A and B are shown apart, each in its own frame.
Chain A
Amino acid sequence: MKSLEELQKIKERALQRRKLSGEGSRARVVVAMGTCGIAAGARDTMTAILSELESRSITDVVVTQTGCIGLCEFEPIVQIQVGESDMVTYGKIDVGRVPELIDGHVVGGVPVAKWQVRK
């Protein structure tokens, strides 16, 4: 059974990592989680993003969620902001598109133009 002592150790490792690399947050990923998004599969998209970051041991990306942003026909919608650059909005990001999106924009730093939608 998982215990809070285990979480304490995880915290110490996370702080140690940060001290070694001096890392701030590299990028912010936002998943739209309105009724429209959830119906289109946003929950699976979000857990896939978290798993993708986990499998690549990427620890300096903040993942949050937001409500409906008024582009319901393009759900599931994911927004990515790398560093101080502009936030990019992507449409129809199902689980299958997550690895390429993370690889291209978060890891590579280059927006994935083919899935970009304009607000």
Chain B
Amino acid sequence: MTVFRDLSQHILDIAENSVTASATLLHIDIDENPVDDQLSIAIGDDGRGMDADMLRHIADPWVTTRTTRKVGLGIPFLKQTAEMCGGTFEITSALGQGTTTRATLQLSHIDRPPLGDLNGTLLCIIVGNPMIDLVYQHKVADRTFVLDTREFREILGPEVSLSDPEVFAFVRGTIGEGLASIGSEALP
């Protein structure tokens, strides 16, 4: 059941849940930790959250809030990938309190998908959702790359959008340089 080629597709997919939950601020934290041989991914939002009953069933592939298709698959996919790679999976949420999804994977596990095109994932989230801000933090050993789209929007104001080609190129370049500067395995 590996429909996604890389972990950054999982990240984009989980972030889509936040979009659907009307989030305005998204936090994505990634930690590539070679000492503990662990890769951690956390995606948190300030969306509408879930009640205890929904939360209990969320990793069940037959649960979805969507009406266009009857099966919700994104969360079970990530859960399965994490657990298959010697890791853990956890969602915390409460109504009105947002949702945080956390997955850990054994960094060196033979079946672990690569982080892959993280830059593409972040661009899709940033450009495709003009109403949502992203705070991105990525750690590799002792180096950290942080990106906060609120800083970009403060400069751009309401007149210039993040999908303006020159702005888009700037954001792509910033992410690429950031990922390279911390020595991430992800494609810059």
Contacts and interface: CB of A to CB of B under 8 A. Distances in A.
Interface in B106-164: 117, 120-121, 123-124, 127-130, 151-152, 155-157, 159-161, 163-164
Interface string B13-26: 10010011000000
A62 B74 contact: no
Contact of A14 (B69, B124, B164, B181): B164
Given A39-B9, A69-B68, A70-B68, A50 B160 contact: no
A14 B66 contact: no
Given A14-B166, A68-B66, A35 B128 contact: no
A97 interface: no
B77 A35 contact: yes
Contacts of A84: none
Interface stretch (B38-46, B52-60, B169-177): B169-177
Contact of B128 (A44, A65, A68): A65
User: Which bracket fits the contact residues of B?
Assistant: 35 or more
User: Which bracket fits the contact residues of A?
Assistant: 35 or more
Contact of A7 (B77, B127, B128, B167): B167
Per DSSP, chain A at the interface is helix
B16 A34 contact: yes
A80 to B, nearest CB: 14
A6 interface: yes
B12 A54 contact: no
Contacts, number: 120
A11 B156 contact: yes
A39 to B, nearest CB: 4
B154 to A, nearest CB: 9
Interface of A: 1-2, 4, 6-8, 10-11, 13-15, 18, 31, 33-36, 38-39, 42-44, 46-47, 50, 53-54, 57-59, 61-65, 67-70, 72
18 contacts: A1-B181, A4-B152, A7-B170, A10-B166, A11-B155, A14-B160, A31-B128, A38-B13, A43-B120, A44-B120, A46-B124, A54-B165, A63-B128, A64-B130, A64-B163, A65-B128, A67-B66, A68-B66
